Structure 1
């Protein structure tokens, strides 16, 4: 549950933002196009469809069974890279707030630890950083639109088999399908290469191997253990 308020130096002047706790209760977070190579070293990357607009968005998958971010715990942050949108999830751009910001007072990243929201009465550094993150996320969304327009995105089904024998299925995710990519005309492949759209697709596909990392993190935290994971891409 969020509790958004306009950023105010009087009300929020003593608050700090602990990036490591950002996105602690999120399974998916938006990812910027410029983050693909960094985030793929730790977590699966794919696409999700916005329920309001129907548009695809580039996202990082942070959990399997349950909504809690498996990379964030009271013991610290368990990855070499954190998606920037997760670290700044407590902040929103809003011209009516101090330095053009609003803040989610319920976000777990806010408190007495981390970096101060205000330095010498100003939060301008956060506004500039958040705007850069938003711009990169928009670029990631544009890349998703390119893949969708070329007919390359297919639903991904993740099937979890628990040690007790129960099963769970994660739906609603999409990936670039290798088979669909292979069917593109040569001219389209060349155009994608020149537009730097082929290399990201390969990295995104390779990142799905990090689902095993999520299984390990899940089993280290929860008593309900995941025995195996199956990935299936629809035709």
Structure 2
């Protein structure tokens, strides 16, 4: 969640404050541009109601992270409303887009098009208090700050117990188009069922078991999303 520094160690980001950003607002970001968004384990419940939850490896570090698959391909707007925003749960990583935490301070990149001076949803009210938009951002940052280490630990336990397995998504639609995603992983229901009773009991007490089955059940959302896309094609 920390921004990268420019060369020479000088940060390219501005510390958010009323004095400098009192008239600054944010416009709705383009949810339609994101296919796969990182989430933390505390988001599994609400995210699973709308999206499949899968695991991927970071190309920079090679480490696993959890994410929600928001759509099957670019241009697929089945999960979007008329304004281009997600209809269902909006992951914290989207809510805080453009905002980061650096040394316990919120910093922003003013060059991003989501920031507008004198327009959009205001970050501050006239008295310098936090606007509704900024309150949402702070809640999202707090959820990520607490959730990322917990999620890393959860994934480490999955790997220790050999519970992750590859999943290839290969779908063909009625219009002849094909959707394929590789290099994604899911929790193996068979591997969970084969665990010793003592391990299952420990996972139940620390919440891992519930998170596992929430993720496993969420994979069914892939079939739902495919049906929705085919239904839309049939009605076109």
Question: TM range, normalised to the smaller chain?
Answer: 0.7 to 0.9
Per the alignment, residue 25 of structure 1 pairs with 33
Cα distance between partner residues in 1 of 2:26 and 2:146: 21
**Matched residue SS, 2:219:** helix
Unpaired runs of at least 5, structure 1: 227-235
Q: Please state if 1:45 is matched with 2:53.
A: yes
Q: Please state if 1:81 is matched with 2:89.
A: yes
Per the alignment, residue 153 of structure 2 pairs with 142
Q: Is the 8 A contact 2:101 2:141 kept in 1?
A: yes
Per the alignment, residue 100 of structure 2 pairs with 92
Q: Is the 8 A contact 2:30 2:84 kept in 1?
A: no
Cα distance between partner residues in 1 of 2:35 and 2:82: 17
**Cα deviations by residue, 1:137-195 (Å, 9 ceiling, x for unpaired):** 33223212211221000111111203243433101211100111122222211221121
Aligned residues: 215
Q: What pairs up with 1:105-124 in 2 under 5 angstroms?
A: 105-106=111-112, 108=114, 110-111=115-116, 112-114=119-121, 116-119=122-125, 120-121=127-128
Q: Is the 8 A contact 1:22 1:86 kept in 2?
A: no
Q: Is the 8 A contact 1:26 1:69 kept in 2?
A: no
**Matched residue SS, 2:183:** strand
In the alignment, which of 68, 72, 86 is matched to residue 60 of structure 1?
A: 68
Aligned in 2, Cα 1:100/1:81: closer, same or farther, shift over 3 Å? closer
**Matched residue SS, 2:109:** strand
Q: Is the 8 A contact 2:38 2:66 kept in 1?
A: yes
In the alignment, which of 173, 180, 205 is matched to residue 169 of structure 1?
A: 180
Cα distance between partner residues in 2 of 1:107 and 1:163: 37
Per the alignment, residue 162 of structure 2 pairs with 151
Q: What pairs up with 1:174-193 in 2 under 5 angstroms?
A: 174-193=185-204
* Deviates further, 45-54 or 197-206: 45-54
Q: CA deviation at 1:118?
A: 3.1
Q: Is the 8 A contact 1:5 1:104 kept in 2?
A: yes
Cα distance between partner residues in 2 of 1:165 and 1:45: 26
**Matched residue SS, 1:171:** strand
